[in-house]
Structure formats: structure tokens, C-alpha cells
Amino acid sequence: MKKFCIILFSLSVILIISQSAFKDPDPLTAAALGHKLFFDPILSRTKKISCASCHKQEFAFSDTSAVSLGVKGRKGVRNTPSAMNMSLQVAFFWDGRATTLEQQALIPLQNPIEMDLPLTTAVWRLQNNAYYRAAFQAVFHEVPDAANLAKALSAFERTLETGDSPFDDWRLNDNEAAVSESAKRGFAVFNTKGRCIQCHFGPDFNDIEFRSIGLYDEKTLRDSGRACVTKKENDLGRFKIGALRNVAITAPYMHNGMFKTLRQVIDYYNDPDKIVPHSINRDTLLKTPMNLTEQEKTDLENFLVSLTDKRFVGNLNKTRP
């Protein structure tokens, strides 16, 4: 009940943060500069891909493939999560290797699989670009460097907040017609039989903990997740609990993109052993099947769809079968 109350109390916070998102950029702000950098391929070795190549705006700044392709078509190793609703997060990347948005912003640039650009080269390019040299002087009153590059990119990411979904209309504005009766039942399943509330709560429907949902078996599923960072055995298979806002348009799902639809995700949580029978270190929350009925699964899916910000509703049919 406590976590349920957290959702209702804190949803209003997101509305305040989201007021500036997606407006025309002001060239004199750090966020506007970060916006331009986010979409500019100047930050990749080949100058052919940008942050936005993998974080596609129309899909809530996520990707539509299981893993993204970096410079020269290099295949990534994990699914690209949404870059939205990051302001309240305390850990970044699936394994939590970064603890601030500023740290996170510079890592993909230097990753040899992703943008493959040494930070010194990135800074040199910006310092020798007339537009960026002037823009950084205007915003930060200094030449481009690693620190203010990170500040600009993270400032833009902090504008990417969403809080204008049918669910918000229903719960915050008391608009009973905003969502279907099925979605309302799904919200009840989310909070009770589905056990989802145990890990997904608050304004963005996530948690600061790392959990293992059973997608590690040392055989076919070999990504050890959080353990890659901590080197602790009890972190094997644990990953960051992602936010659920806009989840209906951020397929495919999980750290490896193994599930193509929300229904596949729900089916997995309903009975993990049917899909990954010999997982290692799976959370006790998923020890027993949920035994959801087909109607309850449909209702739960419709609730998750109701978390889609209104600006993305037109993209729902592009991602749902």
C-alpha cells in the first residue's frame, strides 16, 4: 500500500518537470546546445551517427531493434533504453555503471562499439568548429571541454520528461473517461496479483534497486549485468529496473531485447520457468507463477499502454502487432 500511495502522491512532480520538454530550443541555454549535440554526428568517429541514431525521438528516444548498430555497423551488446524521464534516476545504463547523467552522457561517445570517438578528439572537433566554439562561449563562457560537453548533453536529457498520458488524466485529473475499463482493471492487477508494484512505483514507475528477473543462466543468457560492475556473485543477472512510462512504444524489451511485445513480457513474468527454466539467481518475487488469466493479461497490457504520453499515441500502431 505504501508504494501504491507513492505513485499517486508523486505523479504530479513529473508534470512540473515536463513543461519545457519538446519546445523549440532556445540557442542561449545549455539544454538547447545539448539538443543540437544530441542530433549531430560530429560526436562519432565516422561523423555518420549521433546519439539520436539509437535514441529515436519518435519512439520515446529508444531504439526499435534488439541491439543498436554503432559506427561502421558494429553491433551492440545490450538494448538501447529510452533516454526519457531521467531526471529522477540515480543510476544509468543497464548495469548502473554511471551514477549521474553527466557521467552517462560521455560514455557512449568513447565506447568503441558505439560512437568510438576519444574524448580528446570530440573536444578538439568542437573547439575547431566555429558554431560550437561560439555556442559554448555564449552558454558556459568558456571553450568546449569534456565537463561542459557533459553538462550540455545532460541538460538536454533532463528536458525529456513526460507526464501527460491517459493514465495521468485518469488519476490526477479524475477523468474517468481517459482510460478504458480494461486499463483500470489492469492497474488493479499491477498493484496486486501481478506484483508489478513491488519493483515499479513512483512517478516514473521504476525503482533504484537492481533485480534479477531470471534472464541469466550462464549458457544461452550470459550477460551477468550488475555483476560486471560490482564483481559480486549475488549481483549475477541483476539489471536496472527501467521506468515504464511510454513502455508501449519502446519495444523490444529487456536488456537484450529478447521480447518483441508487451504480451511476451507479461507472459514471461506470469511463469518465467516456461521460458527460462534454469535461470541463476532469479529474484524470489518470481519464484512462483502469477497464474494470470488471459483477461488479466490483456487488462495489464492496456494499463501499460495508458502510460504512453499523448505526443506518442500516434506511434502505438507502429510498434504493436
pLDDT grade for 8, boundaries at 50, 70 and 90: very low
> What does the pLDDT read at residue 18?
42
Domains and CATH numbers, the chain: 22-157 (1.10.760.10), 166-310 (1.10.760.10)
| pTM greater than 0.75 | yes
Segments in the chain forming alpha helices (H): 2-17, 30-38, 51-54, 101-110, 119-127, 130-140, 146-157, 166-173, 181-191, 227-230, 262-270, 294-305, 316-319
All three cell numbers of 201: 512505483
Picking from 308, 302, 303, 297, the residue whose alpha carbon sits closest to that of residue 266 is 297
Average pLDDT of the chain is 92
Residue 238 bridge partners (DSSP):
225
Rounded distance between C-alpha atoms, residue 248 and residue 60, angstroms:
10
pLDDT grade for 184, boundaries at 50, 70 and 90: very high
Show binding-site residues for heme c.
Answer: 51, 54-55, 196, 199-200
Q: Express each pLDDT in 124-174 by its tens digit.
A: 999 999 999 999 999 999 999 999 999 999 999 999 999 999 999 999 999
Look at the alpha carbons of 224, 228, 233, 235 in this order and tell me if their dihedral is positive or negative. Answer: negative
Q: At what angle do helices 30-38 and 146-157 cross, to 10 degrees?
A: 90
* Share of the chain residues as helix, strand and coil, in percent rounded to the nearest 5: 45, 5, 50
pLDDT grade for 27, boundaries at 50, 70 and 90: low
Show binding-site residues.
Answer: 51, 54-55, 196, 199-200
Contact 210, 241 (CB under 8 A): yes
pLDDT at 66 over 60: yes
> What does the pLDDT read at residue 286?
96
pLDDT at 60 over 50: yes
